[in-house]
Amino acid sequence: MNSRKDIPRTRTRIARCFIAATALTAGLMGCGGGGGGGDSGASSLEGNRYASWTASMMDATQVRAGTTPVVEVFNNQSVRQVLRLSLGGDRVRIKVSNLFGKASITVSGAEVARSTGGSGIDVASSRVVTFDGQPTVTLAAGEELLSDPIAFSATPLTPMAVTMYFASPNVLDTVHALGRQTAYIGIGNQLSAATIAATEADQRQSYYGLTVVETASAEKANVVVMFGDSITDGDKSTVDASKRLPNQLDDRLKAAGFARTGVVNSGIAGNRWLIDVFGPNANSRFDRDVLGVAGVTHTIVFLGINDLRNSFRFPAQAVTTDQVIASMATAVAKAKAKGLKVLVGTIMPCKGETFCPASVDADRQVVNAWIRANRDADGVIDFDRVMQNPTAPAEINPVYDSGDHLHPNDVGYGAMAAAVDLAKLR
């Protein structure tokens, strides 16, 4: 049972996993994705595999209007990244990513442990991460790799810290920029350190090269992938508080007794359906960030405001409502073909935000009318009506407004989570 052939090894570039329709099933299994919860060869060793936390990756070197690319170089440094698992299990695996790397990177060591808050961990819970039995792993440019199974007992909503050590200079181009969770950077190998004494200058709010944590259990589970932009990603939610929309939906599910229904976040702040600006466009990443998620059974598709706003802001990047609608329809069709249940969220109001004039609101109404009339999806979540100001429906309700007239505050994200019919996630 412990021979190397019994331990599934996912060392295939994402692009290869979808290279031919005739090899689709095998490719998904080889990439650690798919609704079946993992390949049968792994099941005797680790049970059914389910994504329990995800962060969609983007290229840190990508030039964006009004921003300066920030690429981290880690050298003889440890990076402790904190997250919250959605599903419990007996074992975990992590997926490390160099998907957008321009050169190889080497992770000299990694450990997982229960987070005790801040940079602290429960040292007794710390476990070494291995890849094909080795504690060190090198990823080529464009590569993602799933670790060996790690004996680690976790209950739903367990806080976890993943610490990675980079002994030599490594350029981390592959990131999830908007973490809303503090990462701690310390000098030297601090994989097992109870805390990492990181000054504010050595703290970040992004995830570096860490894209998935899976849990394994003999119990079957549902996995809900929330696919969207900055509102799904949790922009303006309280840092280190797990108040993003997916987190608060997860809280509702667990409080209602849905211990084996998980929610993972595939949002990227600034993301659009049709143009690569903040992360790869949604059309291009849907296969990887939704269909390729281990154990996925449901998806909530909630995206489009950035296509509309930026069509006004940057006329050279303008897209039509027909193009946005076609993108949504394609995503729904792909998910249904995979056997997933699909819910689609209407686009929220944004009057008062700098790039949301009346013309953008008119386009928003066109797209929302299509969403409400759609019969291919399994349901609609009418975020527009939930979040609008009762006396000025083109504006977000002031009670829910973070202050920028576009993103909700923590209370607003809670109202959105409350709008989801939990029965549709069974």
Q: What's residue 62's pLDDT?
A: 85
Residue 245 has pLDDT above 50, yes or no: yes
CB atoms within 10 A of CB 365: 17
pLDDT score, position 13? 39
Comparing C-alpha atoms, which of 195, 27, 173 is closest to residue 105?
Answer: 173
Q: What is the pLDDT of residue 69?
A: 62
35: pLDDT strictly greater than 70: no
What is the pLDDT averaged over residues 387-397?
Answer: 98
DSSP, collapsed to helix, strand or coil, labels residue 84 as strand
Q: pLDDT of 77-117, one tens digit each? A: 999 999 999 999 999 999 999 999 999 999 999 999 999 99
Q: For the chain, what is the mean pLDDT?
A: 90
Q: Say what the pLDDT of residue 304 is.
A: 98
Cβ atoms of 30 and 17 closer than 8 Å = yes
pLDDT tens profile 320-354: 999 999 999 999 999 999 999 999 999 999 999 99
Residue-level pLDDT at 412: 98
pLDDT over 60 (residue 229): yes
Helices 245-255 + 410-418 axis angle, to 10: 50
Write out pLDDT tens, residues 246-272: 999 999 999 999 999 999 999 999 999
Q: Scanning the structure block, which residue is given the tokens 């419990």?
A: 88
Q: Tens digit of pLDDT for each residue in 37-92?
A: 444 333 334 469 999 999 999 999 986 655 556 789 999 999 999 999 999 999 99
pLDDT, residue 70, reads: 76
User: Are the CB atoms for 343 and 297 separated by under 8 Å?
Assistant: no
The pLDDT value given to residue 66: 54
Residues in the chain: 426
Instruction: Compute the distance between CA of residue 33 and CA of residue 66 in angstroms, rounded to an integer.
Output: 35
CA atoms within 13 A on the CB side of 295: 30
**Pairwise CA distance, residues 85 & 93, whole Å:** 12
* Percent of residues in the chain assigned helix, strand, coil, to nearest 5: 30, 30, 40
Kind plus residue range of the DSSP H or E element containing 341? strand 341-345
CA–CA separation, 331 vs 33, rounded Å? Answer: 17
**Could you read off the pLDDT of 272-307 as tens digits, one per residue?**
999 998 899 999 999 999 999 999 999 999 999 999
Report whether pLDDT(12) > 60. Answer: no
For the residues 172-191, what does the mean pLDDT come to?
Answer: 97
The CA–CA distances, whole Å, from 154 to 115, 265, 425 equal: 12, 19, 22
Q: What letter represents residue 237's amino acid?
A: S
Q: What is the pLDDT of residue 180?
A: 97
Question: What whole-number percentage of the chain has pLDDT above 70?
Answer: 87
Nearest one of 62, 99, 127, 48 to 295, comparing CA atoms: 48
